[in-house]
Amino acid sequence: MNAELRRALDQVLGRVPGMDAAARLLAVRLETVRALLARRLDENPLPVPDAVTPGDIPSVAELGPGDRVLAEIDQDGFAFALHPADVAFFNRRNQKMPRMRYRLHIVLRGGYVCVRKRFIGQPKGAPAGAHLLTLVGMSFYNEATALLRLRDLPSVPRIRDLHLATRTLFMDYVRGQTLQHKIAESGRKVLDIDLAPLGQLHDPERDRREIEAFAGSGGDAYRGRIEEIVRAMNTRGVAPIEVKLNNVLIGEKTGALYWVDFEQAALEGTPHYRERLAESHRLVQEWFGISLQGDGGA
């Protein structure tokens, strides 16, 4: 679908009260299914430079490269190995913070080391609307569509497979640390495992503190590269809405940056894309000091 047709769809669907979520879901489901029917995932693009290979995994020497689960990723983005031989490779802290909305595992699959992301539901206490959107698979289809559009970008891990029945995505595993991990190393309390005991897990001031901590910890050094990534994503009709430090990963081998979360991304061709694109630009400016206002991203 070209840009003009997508804008027309935005305008038409945006005039129907109460239909925005349904129309968005329909659009992303159709795009995902069409990609599967076109066998897009049969293509095997090269992994990004910081992607882990089976030969990097210590336990492969003993157990071989067959498909299996290697590690679990917790709420703060830290990995915890299943096999003792892999503990030194994956584990960077001792305590695990349980995930709330989906399960993340690092797996061997088809000769690749992948992150397996399985959407399982919302935590207790989440709004009814959020439960409903999860039930119909909005986050899964939205992220699948975004990853398929961005599959050729060097700043996004490659999607390798997806399962519609179990709402599961498989993406190349990139080893590194998030920007949030980076500032946590300075002793600042920004991780969920530190904030939960303080009752600050859902503190409305949390984002402000994190933004200030990042700006005061050398965050300016990443601004140019983040701007390049966001502009490149926008040209493919994807605008991140979950703009957070824990969604930008620093690759361990090269120091390159990667964007890793697209559940709520705004997608061109869905209702009110232009308004959501503007919201994405506002958030990028708030978090990273990057001005994209007025840039249509087309």
One DSSP character per residue, 118-173 reads EE--PPTT--HHHHHHHHTTHHHHHHHHHHHHTTT-TTSPPEEEEETTTTEEEEEP
Q: Where are the alpha helices (DSSP H) in 154-222?
A: 179-184, 192-195, 206-215
Residues 9-14: contacts with CB within 8 Å, 24+ apart?
Answer: 9/269, 9/270, 9/271, 10/269, 10/270, 10/271, 10/272, 10/273, 10/274, 13/270, 13/271, 14/271, 14/272
In this prediction, residue 104 carries a pLDDT of 96
b/e 261-278 (16+ beta carbons within 10 angstroms → b): bbbbbbbbbbbbbbebbb
b/e 155-172 (16+ beta carbons within 10 angstroms → b): bbbbbbebeeeebbbbbb
Mean pLDDT of 220-237: 96
CA distance 57 to 99: 24
How does pLDDT run across 40-62, given as a tens digit for each residue?
999 989 999 999 999 999 999 99
How does pLDDT run across 256-291, given as a tens digit for each residue?
999 999 999 999 999 999 999 999 999 999 999 999
CA distance 97 to 106: 16
Contact at 8 Å (CB) between 170 and 160? Answer: yes
Domain ranges of the chain: 3-288
CA distance 226 to 229: 5
In this prediction, residue 121 carries a pLDDT of 67
Amino acid at 201: L
CA distance 156 to 77: 17
Signed CA dihedral, 45, 51, 54, 56: sign only? positive
Q: 93: left (phi > 0), else alpha (psi -120 to 50), else beta?
A: beta
What the block records as the tokens of 142 is 């939205």
Measured CA to CA in angstroms, residue 170 lies from 87, 176, 268 at distances of: 22, 18, 23
- Out of 1.20.140, 3.30.70, 1.10.10, 1.10.510, select the CATH number for domain 3-288: 1.10.510
290 exposure class (CB count in 10 Å sphere: 0-12, 13-18, 19+) = middle
In this prediction, residue 80 carries a pLDDT of 98
pTM: 0.89
pLDDT grade for 218, boundaries at 50, 70 and 90: confident
Residue 1 vs residue 83, higher pLDDT: 83
Mean pLDDT of 3-21: 52
pLDDT grade for 32, boundaries at 50, 70 and 90: very high
CA distance 239 to 244: 13
Which residues in the chain belong to E strands, given as ranges? 68-73, 79-81, 102-109, 112-119, 159-163, 168-172, 176-178, 238-239, 248-251, 257-259, 266-267
